[in-house]
Structure 1
Amino acid sequence: MGSVFKFKQFVVDQGNCAMKINTDGVLLGGWATEANVSAVLDIGTGTGVIALMLAQRYPGAAVDAIEIDEVAAQQAAYNFEVAPFTNSMQVLEGSFEAYQDSDTRYDLIVSNPPFYTNALHNPDARKKLARHADAPFFEKLIAFVAAKLNDNGSFHCIVPTELADWMVATLLPMHQLFLQAELEIRSFAEEPVIRKILKIGKEEKRLQQDGLAIYAERGVYSEAYKTVLKPFFLAF
């Protein structure tokens, strides 16, 4: 993949980002929806791709994007500047904890977080920062979300299956949050679930569960995958 990725309505230059555009991120951006969205927050925006997908989906919504890596933050800011959207878009450089005291609340919060918990650390410092997180990170993340989410809003994140189940069982009850929907993602229909996208909110609702296989066969994307990304991808 080159440094520039062209979508239907915007372009993302990812040349200076340690973590490039990936399947997890675009699936999250394609699936994350909420009613009456006027304020969006993307935590760990990287290239800015998810924030841009949501700016396309919600014209006029204010979109904030937090990024701890200085170079990636600059890259995302550039991608926002050249985007054709009328949204108010800004990058907030630093950790999400640095914005804990802000009074801003959001209707939709998204995150494609680092989740290589307990994995062998990457020797590249920037990739290590982008990829690795331990349990305390997710404890702080959920606490932050609970503080920043509007009562009718929702938080969407994509994580591996075991991590998703631990978050739901352990972290959500601590902050009076509820799992409202989940999408189980497989590479192929007959294979185990490798990721879950969780929709979390402050209201307890009947759980909506669905599944998606990325490939119909080797090298061929499934119709479900193409449907999620059709509004954004040129190829679909």
Structure 2
Amino acid sequence: MASIFRFKQFDVDQTDCAMKINTDGVLLASLLDIANSTRILDIGTGTGVIALMLAQNNEYSEIEAVEIDPLAAAMAEKNFRNSIFRDRLSLHNCSFQELIIREHFDLMVSNPPFYTDSLHNPDQRKRLARHTDMTFFLALLDFAATNLSGRGKLVLIIPTALAEALRLISVEKGLYCTNEILISSFVGEPPIRKIVTFERAPKGVVDIQQFVIYAAKGVYSESYKQALAPYFLAF
């Protein structure tokens, strides 16, 4: 049976995707400022939802997406093809390391597999989609350092502990954390995720923002509803 998630300006068929649409992905796409980003790369696009949301957000952007899972890549390509943004979206069924780069990117985004060193999921495709180790992130930082434009940005949504580790490692690659959005489930709780931005030029002070998903159990916060209102039918 098809599993289709309907947005205001596009639909996402996620039938053959091991990793379905999730809060991390839609928050990453909705909280990004991409006004000055013409060339964008979505790394590990899965269903293609992040690329589609970014295409809606900036009508001048051209977005390339890479997905290593053949079934997910085929589904993302179908979602791109069926959208009104089809002329500005392209899909590559490969790893980001295998991607042939035509010119530098203004923005790279990823909701990466962050279950580091965890292979407990019995579903092989979900295990592939969710498992990685630090080698992946080292390669990702190297790739960004090589293929970002001078003012380009790499933006990831990752767990807080991993964000701290990458902040230290990125400096060795010539990339610096300039912005963090700390995402908590409820007010007063510690963040469960961070949206972290890396750029070539360091800032004296990292810009830190707070974002809370729920106002109460089962009730979304006004910030969450405002962020997703351009996309979600429910808002």
TM-score, normalised relative to structure 2: 0.95
Structure 2 residue ranges without an equivalent (≥5)? none
| Backbone CA RMSD of aligned residues | 1.3
Large movers: runs of 4+ above 6 Å: none
Q: In terms of mean alpha carbon deviation, does 159-168 or 183-192 score higher?
A: 183-192
Aligned to 1:6: 6
Helix, strand or coil at the partner of 1:188:
coil
Distance across 2 between alignment mates of 1:120 and 1:61: 37
Aligned to 2:159: 160
Aligned-pair CA distance for 1:86? 5.8
Aligned amino acid, residue 41 of structure 2:
L
Aligned-pair CA distance for 1:194? 0.6
Deviation per residue, 1:104-147 (Å, 9 max, x gap): 21111100000001224312111011000001111101111111
Aligned-pair CA distance for 1:220? 0.2
Aligned to 2:93: 93
Distance across 2 between alignment mates of 1:121 and 1:142: 26
Aligned to 1:48: 48
Q: For the structure 1 residues 87 and 211, does the alpha-carbon distance in structure 2 shift closer, same or farther, using more than 3 Å as the test?
A: farther
Of 202, 205, 211, which residue of structure 2 is paired with 1:204? 202
Helix, strand or coil at the partner of 1:108:
strand
Deviation per residue, 1:69-122 (Å, 9 max, x gap): 0000000000000111264211111111112x5242111110000000122431
Aligned amino acid, residue 9 of structure 1:
Q
Distance across 2 between alignment mates of 1:209 and 1:37: 21
Distance across 1 between alignment mates of 2:107 and 2:136: 20
**Is the Cα contact below 8 Å between 1:121 and 1:132 reproduced in 2?**
no
Aligned-pair CA distance for 1:152? 1.0
Mapping 1:1-236, distance limit 5 Å: 3-85=3-85, 87-99=87-99, 102-169=101-168, 171-205=169-203, 206-236=205-235
Paired residue total: 233
**Is the Cα contact below 8 Å between 2:150 and 2:200 reproduced in 1?**
yes
Identity of aligned residues (%): 48
Aligned-pair CA distance for 1:174? 1.1
**Is the Cα contact below 8 Å between 2:62 and 2:88 reproduced in 1?**
yes
Aligned-pair CA distance for 1:198? 0.4
Q: In terms of mean alpha carbon deviation, does 176-185 or 112-121 score higher?
A: 112-121
**Is the Cα contact below 8 Å between 1:184 and 1:196 reproduced in 2?**
yes
Structure 1 residue ranges without an equivalent (≥5)? none
